[in-house]
Structure 1
Amino acid sequence: MKTNDEFERYQKAQKKVKELKGFYRHLLVFVIVMIGLIYINLKYTPEVLWFIWPMIGSIVPLVFHGAKISNSFPFFNKDWEEKKIKQFMEEEKTHNNKFE
């Protein structure tokens, strides 16, 4: 049993690392694109700071991605989904047993 538990923990840890890696990639792309947009904005149209709008639009998904990784929103993670599935299955089972 212990090896099975260790294997499950390993898989969960591996999945978390993959998700974290995806977030870091998202963050890196955000930083590179924003540096480019800021450069273009300040070089060619410094009188209008338009880079702020794409920055705001890009920060929102980045924040949600970070919140998902850090489990700030419990309804985003798989554990919550599994608990709800089990809950609904139990409710269905109880409901069906009432009429037998």
Structure 2
Amino acid sequence: MQREYTQEQKYILARKRVERISKFYKHLAIYLAVNTFLSAIFIVGDMNDGDTFNQAFFNYHNYKIWFYWGIGIAFQAINTFGINLFFNKDWEKRKVQQYLDEQNDNL
């Protein structure tokens, strides 16, 4: 059973969706800016402690915040765009066609 919405209700729903998408992109921009800044500080701090640039740059401890905050970003993306962002109907059709093509090639 599908509900019928008035024009005003459709507008409100569309506006809320746009606001959620806007918040996601702002959060993503903050994520990139803050983590880049923090990683730079961590690298410089390691270099001041006697590490070479390469040692400091490739030290995974300097990037842990990217991973943990990234998990939050991933959940927000799924909440904002839905799981269909990755596995939509078009993707399903392409995969089915790919497997059919592979089966035909093997015959």
Q: Distance in 1 between matches of 2:69 and 2:9?
A: 35
Q: Percent same amino acid among aligned pairs?
A: 17
Match of 1:10 in 2: 11
Task: Indicate the residue corresponding to 2:83 in structure 1.
Answer: 72
- What secondary structure sits across from 1:51 in the alignment? helix
> What are the equivalent positions in structure 2 for 1:1-100 lying under 5 Å apart?
5-45=6-46, 46=56, 48-72=59-83
CA distance in 1, matches of 2:60, 2:43: 8
TM-score by length of 1: 0.63
For this pair of structures, how many residues does the alignment match?
Answer: 70
Relative to the length of structure 2, the TM-score reads 0.59
- 1:49 deviation in Å? 3.6
Tell me the residue number matched to 1:92: none
Which amino acid is the alignment partner of residue 37 of structure 1? L
Partners of 1:43 and 1:64 in 2: CA distance: 31
Q: 2:27 and 2:9 mapped to 1: Cα distance?
A: 27
| CA distance, structure 2, for counterparts of residue 5 and residue 51 of structure 1 | 52
User: Which structure carries more relative contact order (alpha carbon 8 Å, separation 6+)?
Assistant: 2
RMSD: 1.8
C-alpha separation in 1, matches of 2:26 and 2:32: 10
Q: Segments of 4+ in structure 1 off by > 2 A? A: none
